[in-house]
A and B are shown apart, each in its own frame.
Chain A
Amino acid sequence: MLKTMLALAKMQFNQYNIYKSNFYLWTLNRIIEVIVYIFVWQAIYNQTGDAGGFTINQLVTYYILTVSIRPIALFSINSDIAYSIRNGKINKELLNPISYFQYCFGVNLGEMAFALVIGIATFVICSVFWTIILPANLTSFILFLIVIMLGIPLTFFIEVIVGTVGFYSSSIWGMEILKDAIISIFSGIIAPIALFPMWFQKIANILPFKDLIYTPINIWLGQVPTNEIIFVILKQLIWTIILYVIAKIFFNYSIKKITINGG
């Protein structure tokens, strides 16, 4: 089963990789984003001499890392699922000898792998132009990686839930935008959570999104005590299970509906 999923991931990876221009353009795109973020923050910093307790170096590192690992939170196969439902391609995919869920997860891993390569490229190129704070020690780097990896299934289940809406509506465009907006704000992609008001931070602490981007970066920066990381991981696992159950139930229910009423 794992082999099949890796094979699927490889297919999806190659599908992107066919177009080398994909790779260059996306990387360039990321770098431009980094530049914009950094300029804005430098301006704020120069004016006020403060940015929520972060040093300018920390902020630079924060945004370079955010842009590099952002695909974990946002890169999406929900539109693939919805598209597949709309044009009936799903009928062929449902005839695979593995479950559609596993099929999607395999494909999703391929997307992630591709995004990861771009992320690494972005990071390496940016490190030439800016001083990036490196992880305090090997442990925090490994913990950073673990927390990121745990985010992959979490995002996948969110994606499935949004994609499944495609069974009910011919356009999930609105849903997608909403999802992206919520994740961008609550994961810290737009700005570090610490800069937001207290009530917002409280909500962000409960939701799973923060641990996709904000928490791992803070682990990298050495701002999360190791004993707290245990709780982060625990929280991630609990959310993963909750989202898995919701995704599975919603998806299976919807599949049943189409197998009762046709595509």
Chain B
Amino acid sequence: MAMIKVENLVKTYQVIQKESGLFGYFKNLVKPKYKEFDAVKGINFSIEEGELVGYIGENGAGKSTTIKMLTGLLTPTSGEVIVNNLKPYKSRIENNKNIGAVFGQKTQLWWDLPVIESFRLIKKMYKIPEGEYRKNLKKFTEILELDELLEKQVKNLSLGQKMRCEIAAAFLHNPKIVYLDEPTIGLDVFVKENIRKFIKEINKEKNVTVILTTHDLKDIEDVCDRIILLDKGQIIYDGSKQKFKDTYGKYVIAEFTVKDKNLNINDNIRIDEIEILEETENQLKLKFKHEETTIVKVMEQISNYCKIEDIHMKEAELEDILKEIYKGAHKC
């Protein structure tokens, strides 16, 4: 039985059409004109218990809209969402007992009070047994380094400190599922790593299902096994991270440092297998597929036009692949 099941899920927002002029203003007051906007256009997926899913896509792709439907904050326009055998939009409070959520920078901690007080309230609200609460608190404090934060007032915490507390709060009651909507936004590398480590460890220990949206693909690279890629309200990829890389990313990016360039290479080189991404006086960044050519051949070609001083090669990372996909998606 899947933990989360989504079938033909659609969300259409009604947007009030503003009309110009005084007449339009009054017309709007009496009988507002609505325009429909499809934010999520009939998506399907199913997620098993314990999966770590990266839910990615460009700004406005519909990620938060989906998460809101999964948590019952939004009612689907059509289609079905079933989370742990419940329909969240019908039994939201029942569903709330099984889930934890972090939404970007909106805090659920009590602003003027020490962090620990908010944790204690969570303990009472979710009826977490004393022993379990202590065990979790100890563990979370250790991984997320909360020691010195717990007694501080929330309003005095830095963004990163607050987010660490926020994440701890979302996992405190041993939820079955945790939704993290851009939990790493605006954080420094160390805090990000800290949070990733936490998610991985708790997932391993408690088999909690995690759905993570982020624009930092290192989060996905590091934490998730599975990727769901959303584009303008539609899923364009759903599968393992490895397969994603294999399917879309079978290419190598090579960066050359060159000297004595006699010609503009971009305008002259005509090899189908090589795509030049960037070119400056002494830098050259290009991309080619493993299967079609080799680095030796590429170097042969280029050395006709310049002297190669240094080469730096890397496998395509998620970020490169995504850029490609987006570019492709925008062309057609």
Contacts and interface: CB of A to CB of B under 8 A. Distances in A.
Interface of A: 3-4, 7-8, 11, 14-15, 18-19, 88-89, 91-99, 256, 259-263
Contacts of B103: 91-92
A15 B124 contact: no
Contacts of B99: 95
A94 B106 contact: no
B75 to A, nearest CB: 5
Contacts, number: 69
B141 interface: no
A89 B106 contact: yes
A263 B92 CA distance: 16
Contact of A94 (B73, B111, B125): B73
A96 B96 contact: yes
Nearest to A92: B108
Given A7-B124, A18-B112, A97-B125, A259 B72 contact: yes
B110 interface: yes
A95 B106 contact: no
B73 A96 contact: no
Interface in B97-138: 97, 99, 101, 103, 106-108, 110-113, 117-118, 120-121, 124-126
Nearest to B124: A7
Contacts of A89: 106
B12 to A, nearest CB: 10
B113 A259 contact: no
B113 A18 contact: yes
A14 B118 CA distance: 11
Contact of B96 (A11, A15, A95): A95
B263 interface: no
B113 A14 contact: yes
A14 B73 contact: no
27 contacts: A3-B124, A7-B124, A7-B125, A8-B121, A11-B113, A11-B117, A14-B117, A15-B113, A92-B101, A92-B103, A92-B106, A92-B108, A94-B92, A95-B73, A96-B93, A96-B96, A96-B125, A97-B96, A256-B75, A259-B73, A259-B74, A259-B75, A259-B89, A260-B75, A261-B13, A261-B14, A262-B65
Given A261-B13, A261-B14, A15 B93 contact: no
A11 B73 contact: no
Contacts of B126: 97
B68 interface: yes
A164 to B, nearest CB: 17
Given A8-B121, A18-B113, 13 more contacts: A3-B124, A7-B124, A11-B113, A15-B110, A18-B153, A89-B106, A91-B103, A95-B71, A95-B101, A96-B125, A259-B75, A260-B75, A262-B68
Residue with the greatest number of chain A CB neighbours at <10 A, chosen from B89, B107, B124, B153: B124
Contacts of B113: 11, 14-15, 18
Given A15-B113, A260-B75, A262-B13, A88 B96 contact: no
A97 B101 contact: no
A3 B103 CA distance: 27
Contacts of A96: 93, 96, 125
